[in-house]
Amino acid sequence: MANEKELLVPSDMYLKSGIHIGTKFKTRYMERFIYKTRPDGLSVLNLQRIDERIKVAVQFLSQFAPDDILIISRRENGWKPLRKLNETTGINVVAGRYPPGMLTNPALEIYRESKVVMVTDAWPDRNAILDANQVGVPVVALCDTNNQSNNIDLVIPCNNKGRKSLGLLFFIMAREYLKATGKIKTDAEFKATAEDFTDE
């Protein structure tokens, strides 16, 4: 197990959220992030790799202003965490269906000139990924054990379906983004809690 000091949150917080619990199906690409397969057939992701990838993603995203980032979640369990992330960081979000042409058609009122796109699940959010690829915008994606990774520049392995795991992940991302961009200096300055990012 990783040294607690090096993790973004204590390992028991990660474990309670189920962020490491994958699905019964695993793709070849996601195998390298899998720690083991349980007797019931569920794949378990490596916590240390999850933590490492969140750090890499935050470092990458912190190069961009909030207005240049767009995070999308068609999956309902991601809506509350995304709205809270938007409230705490100012990063643009789409909680719900991605509107076609948002990244590609300047004639539309909803058009956004984003510099980086992040999605909570490469499958339901695939139209956003295709649009981002079309305009040459890098894509960060949360990927479970059953996801493919085509057209994705940076993968964050995690349980991208669970309410608690998505809440915890976006709580960490919001806090670390604010630290990386110099808006806050310590964890204690971040007033929101992981529960604030999780639906009641």
Residue with tokens 């894509």: 139
d(CA 93, CA 98): 10
Query: Confidence class of residue 80 from pLDDT cuts 50, 70 and 90?
Result: very high
CA pair distance 104, 81, nearest whole angstrom: 26
What is the rounded CA–CA span in Å between residue 27 and residue 36? Answer: 14
End-to-end CA gap in the chain:
31
pLDDT of residue 200: 61
The C-alpha torsion from 34 through 77 and 103 to 157, rounded to 10°, is -10
Q: Would you place residue 150 in the very low, low, confident or very high pLDDT band (cuts 50, 70, 90)? A: confident
Quickly list DSSP for 104-122: T-TTSTT----SEEEES-T
**Strand pairing report for 92-95 and 69-73:** parallel
**pLDDT reported for residue 5:** 66
- pLDDT class for 1, splitting at 50, 70, 90? very low
Architecture of domain 8-181: 3-Layer(aba) Sandwich (3.40)
User: Domain spans of the chain?
Assistant: 8-181
Pairing of strands 43-45, 116-119: unpaired
Q: Which two tokens stand for residue 179?
A: 């630290």
Is-contact 114 137, C-beta < 8 A? Answer: yes
